[in-house]
């Protein structure tokens, strides 16, 4: 919870902003503009998610990496569609932050005599930045559990305390009891990605170089961790991750990664078109799969690995 107001009026507002005084119609217009921009961000976030996931699934199938819950009878796009819905539902029920699948964003407005105060609620950084980019919006946080920011005077800090206490009216941790809430985005307002939207999704595909590098890194990490399989324990996993990061930067690590990337480049599917995305998993496996894990495991060329 980003806002906490205790009964003794100890106030901590980490997500606070202020708007200039305006008429109700002007405020409504501002809220509509925010909602419109947030919806555009939602669309980009969803298309970006689908783009990365489509590439991950197809490259995973191509190079024989294990993929959870996917069946041979699944279509690529339909699998990702239902997986996406399941992840959103999990995020909505979870007590833990899951920014990748939490598409809710709203803000609460509190009218004062000379300004409007605002608190915002959303897990996605893109939503917060979009809101902050409006020229009417000015940061106006307040807290008393640590020192005030150096760029805010003592007088201004006390003014903020007074303003927030007036705005929240002592209603504890329920801002909507004092102001009014504007809902901008949630799971029900997201675009539905069908085969007709694939061209829009393609704009967010990672580059071919990124894809080749990601496959190489996935394989190298898997190979490296397999070598430590007996040693991996909850208390040393971070240590092993650090050791891999150091190894990857060594001359031999760089050389093996570059040689591996050359092999991947020859086998990777370079054109991810609509027809491919609509194929079933079994079709992709039969037409394109190059099981890099077993190929390299059985390869005697130590220059590769």
Classify residue 97: in a domain, yes or no.
yes
Count how many domains the chain has: 1
Measured distance CA(47)–CA(64) in Å, rounded: 25
Residue 13 belongs to some domain of the structure: yes
Q: What is the pTM of this model?
A: 0.80
Q: Extract the tokens encoding 19.
A: 């708007």
Beta bridge partners of 117: 18, 110
Put residue 219 in one of left, alpha, beta given phi > 0 → left and psi -120 to 50 → alpha: alpha
Tens of pLDDT, residue by residue, the chain (305 residues): 444 444 455 678 899 999 999 999 999 999 999 999 999 999 999 999 999 999 999 999 998 888 888 898 889 999 999 999 999 988 888 878 788 889 999 999 999 999 999 999 999 999 999 999 999 999 999 998 888 888 999 999 999 999 998 898 755 556 667 889 999 999 999 998 988 888 899 999 999 999 999 999 988 888 887 776 666 667 777 888 888 889 889 999 899 899 999 989 998 999 999 999 998 999 888 888 776 656 555 554 444 44
- CA Rg value for the chain: 25
Structural domain for 47, as ranges: 1-204
**104 found inside a domain:** yes
Cα 189 to Cα 38: distance, rounded to the nearest angstrom: 11
Residue 218 tokens, joined: 């996935």
* Residue 47 domain-assigned (yes or no): yes
> Apex CA 63: angle with CA 57 and CA 66, to 5°?
60
Query: CA-CA distance, 119 to 234, in Å (whole number)?
Result: 39
Any domain includes 222 = no
Biggest CA pair distance of the chain? 78
Tokens of 157: 């800090």
pLDDT at 7: 40
Sheet holding 115-122, edge to edge: 138-139, 16-20, 115-122, 105-111, 180-185
The answer to whether residue 241 sits within a structural domain is: no
Distance CA 291, CA 63 (A): 5
Asked whether residue 275 is domain-assigned, the answer is no
As a whole number of angstroms, the distance between CA 236 and CA 225 comes to: 12
Please spell the DSSP secondary structure of the chain, one letter per residue.
--EEE-TT--EEESSEEEEE---HHHHHHHHHHHHHHHHHHHHHHHHHHHHHHHHHHHHHHHTT---TT--TT-BHHHHHHHHHHHHHHHHHH-SS--TTT---EEEEEEE-SSEEEEEEEES-HHHHHHHHTSTT-EE--B-SSSPPPTTS-HHHHHHHHHHHHHHHTT-TT-GGGTSEEEEEE-GGGSPP--GGGHHHHHTTPPPHHHHHHHHHHHHHHHHHHHHTTTT--TTTHHHHHHHHHHHHTSHHHHHHHHHHHHHHHHHS-----HHHHTSBHHHHHHHH---HHHHHHT---TTT-
Closest among 223, 207, 206, 205 to 260, alpha carbons compared: 223
pLDDT at residue 47, as a whole number: 95
305 domain-assigned: no
Quote the pLDDT of residue 171: 55
Q: Please state, in angstroms and rounded to a whole number, the distance separating the CA atoms of residues 198 and 55.
A: 13
| pLDDT of res. 155 | 94
């Amino acid at each position: 919870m980003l806002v906490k107001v205790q009964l003794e009026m100890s106030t901590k507002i980490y997500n606070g902003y202020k708007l200039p005084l305006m008429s109700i119609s002007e405020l409504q217009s501002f809220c509509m503009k925010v909602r419109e921009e947030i919806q555009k961000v939602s669309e980009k976030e969803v298309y970006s998610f689908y783009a990365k996931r489509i590439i991950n699934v197809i490259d995973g199938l191509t190079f024989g990496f294990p993929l959870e819950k996917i069946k041979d009878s699944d279509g690529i796009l339909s699998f990702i569609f239902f997986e996406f819905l399941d992840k959103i539902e999990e995020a909505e029920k979870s007590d833990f932050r899951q920014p990748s699948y939490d598409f809710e964003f709203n803000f609460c407005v509190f009218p004062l005599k000379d300004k409007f105060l605002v608190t915002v609620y959303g897990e996605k950084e893109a939503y917060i930045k979009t809101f902050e980019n409006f020229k009417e919006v000015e940061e106006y946080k307040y807290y008393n559990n640590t020192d005030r920011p150096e760029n805010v005077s003592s007088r201004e800090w006390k003014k903020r305390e007074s303003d927030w206490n007036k705005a929240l009216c002592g209603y504890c941790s329920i801002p909507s009891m004092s102001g009014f809430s504007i809902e901008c985005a949630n799971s029900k307002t997201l675009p539905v990605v069908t085969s007709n939207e694939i061209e829009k999704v393609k704009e967010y595909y990672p580059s071919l170089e990124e894809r080749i590098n990601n496959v190489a890194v996935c394989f190298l990490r898997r190979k490296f961790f397999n070598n430590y399989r007996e040693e991996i324990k909850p208390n040393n996993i971070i240590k092993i991750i650090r050791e891999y990061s150091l190894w990857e930067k060594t001359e031999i690590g760089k050389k093996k990664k570059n040689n591996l990337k050359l092999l991947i480049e020859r086998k990777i599917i370079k054109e991810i078109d609509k027809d491919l995305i609509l194929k079933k998993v079994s079709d992709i496996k039969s037409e394109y799969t190059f099981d890099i894990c077993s190929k390299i495991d059985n390869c005697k060329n130590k220059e590769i690995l």
